[in-house]
Amino acid sequence: MNETKATSLFEGAMLRRALWDSLIKLDPRVQIRNPVMFVVEIGSVITTATWLIQVFGGKALGGNDPAWYTLTIAIWLWLTVIFANAAEAFAEGRGRAQAATLRSMRKETVATMSDGSTRAASELTRGDVVVVEAGEPIPGDGTVIEGIASVDESAITGESAPVIRESGGDRSAVTGGTKVVSDRLVVEITQEPGHSFLDRMIALVEGAERRKTPNEIALNILLAALTLIFVIVVATLRPFALFAHTPISETSLIALLVALIPTTIGALLSAIGIAGMDRLVRRNVLALSGRAVEASGDVDVLLLDKTGTITIGNRLASEFIPMPGVAETELAEIAQLSSLADETPEGRSIVVLAKQYGIREREMSQIDARFVPFTAQTRMSGVDIDGQQIRKGAGDSVIKFAEGEGGHPPPELATQLERIAREGGTPLAVARDSQILGVIYLKDTIKEGMQARFEHLRAMGIKTIMVTGDNRLTAAKIAGESGVDDFLAEATPEAKLELIRSQQREGYMVAMTGDGTNDAPALAQADVGVAMNTGTQAAREAGNMVDLDSNPTKLIEIVEVGKQLLITRGALTTFSIANDVAKYFAILPAIFVTVWATSQHGQSPLHVLNIMSLGDPRSAVISAIVFNAIVIPLLIPLSLKGVRYRPIGASALLRRNLLIYGLGGLIAPFIGIKLIDLVVHGLLGA
Amino acid sequence: MTFYGWFTIVAFVVILTALALPLGSYMARVYTGERVILTPIFATPERLLYRFMRVDPERGQDWKAYAKSLIIFSLAGWLFLYLVLRTQDAPWVPHLLNPLGYHSPPWNVTFNITSSFMTNTNWQYYSGETTLSYLSQMIGLTVQNWLSAGVGIVVAVALVRGIVGRSGKSIGNFWQDLVRTILYVLAPLSVFVALVLASQGVIANFSDYLVVHTITGLTQTVAMGPVAPQLSIKMLGTNGGGFFNTNSAHPFENPSQFTNFFEMLAVLIIPAALIFMYGRMTGNRRQGHAIYATVMIMFLGAVIVAYIAEAHGSPAQHAAGLHTGVISGSGGGNMEGKEQRFGIAGSALFDVITTVTSCGAVNSAIESFTGIGGAVPFANLSASEVIFGGVGTGLYSILLYVLLAVFIGGLMVGRTPEWLGKKLEAREIKLAGLGILITPLAALFCTALATATKGGRASIAEVALSKAGGNTPQGFSETFYAYLSQANNNGSAFAGYTGFVQPNAGNLGAHGITFADVLGSFDMMLARYAPILFALAVAGALAGKKVSRAGLGTMRTDNPTFVILLIGVIVLVGALTFFPALLLGPIVQGLTGHLY
């Protein structure tokens, strides 16, 4: 889906649809939401009316323009509005194409309820329990309450390999529209009808639920204020000019007004917003609100889980280190026993390592043992067998356990624990009742290129904090090697939540990723919480974004998209305002061509302001308006793609963008208007 | 241009900066309630004043309460001044305070004078020495010179408190701020300045006007009065309303080059110090330095252009073979309308200083400046009082521009714009935008009314004199300048636009031109109080905001890039708003040797 999503910008059918939409959007009830373009539309109506009056022989107010001039201006004003509509329509069109793919998956399916009855999938409500057999689509979002199965989620994630979904644990969430490939699942539905994940996704990419984000609202107000200034400037210009015995026609005044108000950014503003959301979807990230996308640009602190994000997958057992008086094989055997029921990768790796000591694998069911699962509080797991309690876990927890049983940890234990931790490994202590037998050495491998990524983030002004359940020493070692700025060791869900809160109290915006139900409170507390799609339903509901690829480092891209969104708006606003200078130099000498001329047919002293030496007054005004209009479609690709973000620090970035869009915006229209004038003036043959 | 001229300009900037730095720190201490050197002297009178006014100075006000106090105080002051002026010939006024028995000015011009002095504008359609009694000058105008300056300063202080505020809604207490401003800032400075000026020959008496016989055998009336005390606050409070009609060109208001230099310092010292105060109060002095650099660059730009233009003279002067070059004993250049004792640099500098601030005092005739030199005050006024600006007014105006610049720049670095850690959102943008809009729009709107209507055109000297319509660029410039100056609460004038016809000294038979008087009052009041209310509302909106920490990704507001951005925003907004109007006035005049 990653590839297929990249539809070309100007595909035939989409282009036609967008053009048609841009005409529909001329409806004033649509335009009034955008004050800048609304003013342009009013101007278009007035100039058109003026032209009609002229055509039917009436006398237009002010000035005596030829009808062709009024018509030309009117046409280009309408085009300005249409171009603005087209920008929005293109952005929406790209989203719509994705929505169509998604919608095709929302076929009407029949759900089999747990009691054997059937019901239409669209009528399922929260709390219903359905059974899904191999080959059937899952009828709605829910949590697996029984069974384990492989599920094809390619429809929403684009990933063709099926994923495992099972009851309990962190892989229990299923999404409506995905398909069970093997086995059978019993699913409790967690959505209300019409509010499924797929429904929300469709609404999002179509922009139907688009609400203006806080920054967009503020910018809109600024643009409205600028428009108001120019309305007054142009309105008062008429009496000023009359004082100088120079009547100016409505057409020229309206042309001046439209040239001055920030039409470029006004036209592209909503397209930028829609495109930002679209860029996230293209990266397989679903933001549940535009606000969240914007907030991601503001992130100061990134919380990253160590496992899977900074280190490759999981730690693996690499060595058994017995305490004095304990044989290595004895330790291996006990370690294996403690891990038999431990389905975590670490647990399995211990069993694998034990095999090298000639200890054959046993089945839990064959021995009389009771499994003691790992909890975040005890931070140990193990088995109770033959009246013996075997435990393995973090050093301090196991020591506490052994001491509780009346034992005394040997002095070598502390040395070994510390050595392994210093080396960046994870030590697991193994105890049988009061006796600590030894230590298992778990090794971590840091992903390639992480250092560069953190360097990149630092340049963006973002602090990274690694979160891990490891002890301080291990955490410090890995943190040092990978280059994160800070770490939280021995993290419990509570400690994680508290870390987020304390960072927020200090005035930082915090982003984090998470997948487990444990993570839900922290995801909800973080300013930007990205839930992994593989995660639990609770996690997916707590976050404000879902990453369909379940890739924790995706956060970096999300932050960049958020920043791009704001930069694009700021840059085009600057460009739009800077353009006005050239337009003044084009239009004002044109409309003041005779003002205070020293002789009857002489030129105004103000003709020296015609520094572009535009052909004649009418071609000057037309050229300015044409430039003003065509700059909109020219900038559509930029606004859809976004201004590139560079992590070079705020000051350098500001300098760069000021230079390109401020200074560039000052100069570009001088060149553009002059070029257009060469054509227009040539066509007029004057 | 002479070495002495440039030296004067450089010396002025250096001395101003050196004096403003410590004064800024002092003011920051005053407004944060710290002990200052004058506390032992003023603590008791301050307490007594609070008791007398029945206010609890320690109780903070939110922006609405602050604004309410300010408006009530201003309204009361307006009524008081109006009554004083309208009763200056009342029988209870002792002869000493109205020695020439002047009548009260008519209602319409009184309306304008009152609004003018209330708003720190000091626009004067009248001549002080032929219109007002000593009593009116002292308890009417001089009192308002103090109070209107005080009001401007407290608004700036309140806005800064809102910007840096960490807790809650309070932006200070209006009465406490006002009392402290007058006791700790204006009073000591004013006494000092008045004494220095009096020692240099500025008069201060209650004498009857002198009648002297000139060497040509004619008799001349020489106006007298308590000039020095009024003059000091006229300068310090950026009021600018002269005791005499010729303002700071009059030898009794500005006797020498030294007083000229000293008066210029007095005008800029408080606006400059307020900027440093802002830096102090934010806890990062560089914030103040960045704004100081911004205004200083624009200020120097104006000074250099004005000085070169005036030293060079106009094309018409060159064509006529007038001495525009340096000749022994003369500095050369355009000396029309300038005092020999100040010279070109002293006049150009003074002119720029009083038009960038809301002072509006003049020591030379602005309408006699060359086209380009005359465009400088226009440009200064177009910047809407942000280049130093009026006392207080300048700081709160530029801070609103800073807010806009931070918003635009902040977007361009890819974060929700933050100003000193506070996120800028729709509400602040709306308020700051409106606060910035009002002044230019009031100026344009009033000029349009005045040029398009018969009532407005009656005030234009060119129209009144000429039978054939008389619409000229000069007439337009005069009108535009009048309303631009009143909107900026400046008070300086391109002569020729009048609102008061006075055949005899003492107001007998005088009448005001209601249209110009009332429209001007509307212009001044709207452009003064609307931005004040918006600035206070911005303070209120910012006061309670959460502060986020600055990082590498946060846009800085204390470095050269920001200074450039801020200058860009100010110049662009000013230029885009006023360029068309300026074209029809000073620019068209400056581009041609033709005389209109």
pLDDT in tens, chain B (596 residues): 788 889 999 999 999 999 999 999 999 999 999 999 999 999 999 999 999 988 888 888 999 999 999 999 999 999 999 999 999 888 888 888 888 888 899 999 999 999 999 998 888 888 888 888 888 888 888 899 899 999 999 999 999 999 998 877 899 999 999 999 999 999 999 999 999 999 998 988 888 888 888 888 888 888 888 888 888 998 998 888 777 878 888 889 899 999 999 999 999 999 999 999 999 999 999 999 999 999 999 999 999 999 998 888 877 777 777 766 665 555 678 888 888 888 888 899 998 998 888 888 888 888 788 878 888 888 888 888 899 988 999 999 999 999 999 999 999 998 889 999 999 999 999 999 999 999 999 999 999 999 988 888 888 877 666 655 667 888 888 899 999 999 988 888 877 788 888 888 888 888 888 999 999 999 999 999 999 999 999 999 999 888 888 877 888 999 999 999 999 999 999 999 999 999 888 888 777 765 54
Asked if residues B240 and B393 have their Cβ atoms less than 8 Å apart, the reply is no
Q: What is the pTM of this model?
A: 0.86
Considering only CA atoms, which of B162, B180, B186, B149 is closest in space to residue B55?
A: B180
DSSP state of A135: T
Distance of alpha carbon A322 from alpha carbon A320, whole angstroms: 6
Q: List, for residues B364-387, the tens digit of each pLDDT value.
A: 888 788 878 888 888 888 888 899
Distance of alpha carbon B478 from alpha carbon A428, whole angstroms: 89
Please tell me which residue in A65, A199, A278, A305 is annotated as part of the active site.
Answer: A305
Verify whether the Cβ–Cβ distance B581 to A237 is below 8 Å: yes
Torsion of CA A627, A630, A632, A636, to 10 degrees: -140
Asked if residues B569 and B405 have their Cβ atoms less than 8 Å apart, the reply is yes
Single-letter amino acid code for the residue at A469: G
Asked if residues B339 and B249 have their Cβ atoms less than 8 Å apart, the reply is yes
Question: Which residues contact residue B238 at a Cβ distance below 8 angstroms, ignoring those fewer than 6 apart?
Answer: B120, B149, B152, B267, B270, B271, B357, B358, B359, B360, B389, B390, B391, B393
CB-defined contacts A:B, below 8 A: 211
Q: What is the 3-state secondary structure (H, E, C) of A176-190?
A: CCCEECCCCEEEEEC
Which tokens is B130 given? Answer: 């032929």
Distance of alpha carbon A230 from alpha carbon B97, whole angstroms: 50
Query: ipTM score here?
Result: 0.91
Torsion of CA A204, A208, A214, A218, to 10 degrees: 140
Residue A555 has pLDDT above 50, yes or no: yes
How would DSSP label each residue in A60-72?
-SSS---HHHHHH
Which tokens is A602 given? Answer: 């002489």
Q: Which of A221, A260, A588 is the closest to B583 by Cβ? A: A588
If residue B235 lies in a helix (H) or strand (E), which one and from where to where?
helix B227-236
Asked if residues B506 and B106 have their Cβ atoms less than 8 Å apart, the reply is no
Which tokens is A112 given? Answer: 């089999």
Closest CA of chain B from A581, distance in Å: 7
Percent of chain A with pLDDT over 70: 92
3 state SS of B119: coil
3 state SS of B494: coil
Verify whether the Cβ–Cβ distance B414 to A508 is below 8 Å: no
Which tokens is A124 given? Answer: 């399922």
Region A102-125: mean pLDDT is 77
Q: In chain B, which residues have their Cβ closer than 8 Å to the Cβ of A462? A: 551, 553
pLDDT mean across residues, chain A: 84
Closest CA of chain A from B388, distance in Å: 24
- Backbone phi, then psi, for B556, in 5-degree steps? -90, 145
End-to-end CA distance of chain B: 28
Distance of alpha carbon B18 from alpha carbon B281, whole angstroms: 19
A259-263, A553-557, B268-272, B461-465: least confidently modelled range = B461-465
Closest CA of chain A from B549, distance in Å: 5
Verify whether the Cβ–Cβ distance A460 to B553 is below 8 Å: yes
Torsion of CA B366, B368, B373, B377, to 10 degrees: 20
Asked if residues B492 and B454 have their Cβ atoms less than 8 Å apart, the reply is no
If residue A247 lies in a helix (H) or strand (E), which one and from where to where?
none
Closest CA of chain A from B568, distance in Å: 9
Verify whether the Cβ–Cβ distance B412 to A230 is below 8 Å: no
Residue A470 has pLDDT above 80, yes or no: no
Q: List, for residues A563-581, the tens digit of each pLDDT value.
A: 999 999 999 999 999 999 9
Distance of alpha carbon B571 from alpha carbon A292, whole angstroms: 35
Q: In chain B, which residues have their Cβ closer than 8 Å to the Cβ of A230? A: 576
Q: In chain A, which residues have their Cβ closer than 8 Å to the Cβ of B443? A: none
Distance of alpha carbon B404 from alpha carbon B426, whole angstroms: 11
The residue of chain B with its CA nearest to that of A564 is: B414
Rounded (to 5) percent helix, strand, coil in chain B: 65, 5, 35
Question: Which residues contact residue B80 at a Cβ distance below 8 angstroms, ignoring those fewer than 6 apart?
Answer: none
Verify whether the Cβ–Cβ distance A566 to B594 is below 8 Å: no
Q: List, for residues A515-536, the tens digit of each pLDDT value.
A: 777 778 888 889 898 888 777 7
Residue A254 has pLDDT above 80, yes or no: yes
3 state SS of A112: strand
Helix B257-282 vs helix B343-356: angle between axes, to the nearest 10 degrees?
40
Q: List, for residues B265-321, the tens digit of each pLDDT value.
A: 999 999 999 999 999 999 999 999 999 999 999 999 999 999 998 888 877 777 777
Asked if residues B409 and A654 have their Cβ atoms less than 8 Å apart, the reply is yes
The burial of A13, by beta-carbon neighbours within 10 Å (0-12 exposed, 13-18 middle, 19 or more buried), is given as exposed
Closest CA of chain B from A233, distance in Å: 6
Q: In chain A, which residues have their Cβ closer than 8 Å to the Cβ of B445? A: 232, 236
Verify whether the Cβ–Cβ distance B584 to A241 is below 8 Å: yes
Return the pLDDT at A366.
67
The answer for B551, left when phi > 0, alpha when psi is -120 to 50, beta otherwise, is beta
Asked if residues B395 and B271 have their Cβ atoms less than 8 Å apart, the reply is yes
Q: Furthest-apart CA pair in chain B: how many Å? A: 78
- Looking at the DSSP bridge assignments, the partners of residue A144 are A187
What is the number of other CB atoms lying within 10 angstroms of the CB of residue B590?
A: 19
Residue A554 has pLDDT above 60, yes or no: yes
* Helix ranges (DSSP H) in A10-135: 12-24, 28-31, 35-55, 67-105
Verify whether the Cβ–Cβ distance B414 to A297 is below 8 Å: yes
The residue of chain A with its CA nearest to that of B433 is: A225
Asked if residues A100 and A29 have their Cβ atoms less than 8 Å apart, the reply is no
Residue A4 has pLDDT above 50, yes or no: no
End-to-end CA distance of chain A: 56
Which tokens is B291 given? Answer: 């704004």
Distance of alpha carbon A616 from alpha carbon A648, whole angstroms: 46
Considering only CA atoms, which of B540, B400, B530 is closest in space to residue B60?
A: B540
Distance of alpha carbon A233 from alpha carbon A228, whole angstroms: 9
Which tokens is A168 given? Answer: 């309990």
Active-site residue, A527 included: no
Q: In chain B, which residues have their Cβ closer than 8 Å to the Cβ of A463? A: 551
